Structure 1
Amino acid sequence: MCEGAYEHFTENPNEFKKFVEEAKKPLYPGCQKHTKLSGLVKLYNLKARHGMTDNCFADMLIEVGDLLPIGQELPLSMKKYHDLTSYPKCGLSRWKVTKKNVVKKGVPTKVLWYFPPIPRFKRMFKSLETSKSLTSHNQARMKDGRLRHPDDSPL
């Protein structure tokens, strides 16, 4: 996916420049703490952390947009292309296509997976047995100056 974005922006450097400028815009006139991009990322992290539905997130964007001053840059909807069956730029189908060229409506071709690591670490270290297993490489290891484990290296 990153390679595709790289190829797209090497072909259209002006579009990348426009994208970067758009991301650096202040969230609202006079705002020095947040940019348009940082505001969206913070709200999207909140959505992921608390398992908000898409409808809840869309409603939250509208409400937060109403709270911000006039001239704010936060998009009021993430559903601009909700009813499209193909991507507006490349024209490819939004839905997975089987080997027999059958479109599986409702199964997206592009999915961004995000697994927050902190809750997983908390679960792993909650058990005394598991936490001993996860830290035994550091506690039970001989430390005589020889390289027996990558952690023994000076760097």
Structure 2
Amino acid sequence: MDKSWIHKSRDRGFRAGDIYEAGVNGFLNFAFSKVPIGEKILCPCVNCINQRLGTWDEVFDHLIVDGIMTGYTIWSFHGDDISSNTTVTENVTVDEEDEDIVNMHDILQDAFPGQTFEGVGVGTTSGHTEEIRDDSQKLHRLMQEAEKALYPKCNKFINRHSCCIISHKVPMQWSDKSFSMLLDLLKKALPQGNTLPNSLYEAKKMVKDLGLSYNKIDACPNDCMLYWKDASNEKSYRICGASRYESKSKVPEKTLRHFPLIPRVQRLYRSSVTSSDMRWHKDGRIDDGKIRHPADAEAWKDL
């Protein structure tokens, strides 16, 4: 069954077309064929993420309006056989329908625009600035890590397949502890010398050079203040008196995670997948004087 429509589900224009609707109907026919008549199925839209049940009409509406999870190409929650979705190539077993997930080249190209690479090798850069050299080194390191065999003499899986596991953590709502336990179990089950990360911490270290990190800022447990800038060395808040740390430890009572906006907006414009959506209000919007979108209003011009 052709599932290529899944990888384009983030495109609102594509979701309005016949190809996407035919794909949704094909999924619904398959999923409801596995359950008794009148039963509901889990909805794989980006909001429900296979956590809520819905009727045919409800799931159809969700998938058309919100889109299906782009990584959900093996419908394991709806009776799909995992073994039937893989094909063995000469060197690596790759899920053909999951190509967008395991293809690290596209991800790295978005993270390091202007850098070139071919296969596992990395092209040369001009090297005129320290920033370019640093990006080139990071890219080279990530490409090497991505192409390592999962374990010695393994010719079916390479290290970039482990990124599939990492990408499932949030949609599947795994806690940090359960995810680390899963990695620990898988690492013990694989042959010695495997490159699977030991824990969530190790997994994060693998992908940290892709950027888009966050800053941790200690906060008052009563939400009075942030221990930031001039207050970064304070031990307690002078108004409510609440301590910054748990008793007899240096563990903060509350931590705020700050996600810088500018690099994330820049990444959206860099990405070949989302850049067209970021410019839609300028390039793709129908400008005929009628208000169909906030971009059609006068207030948009002042943003």
Q: Which structure exhibits the higher relative contact order, with contacts defined as CA atoms closer than 8 Å and separated by 6 or more residues?
A: 1
TM-score, L = length of structure 2: 0.27
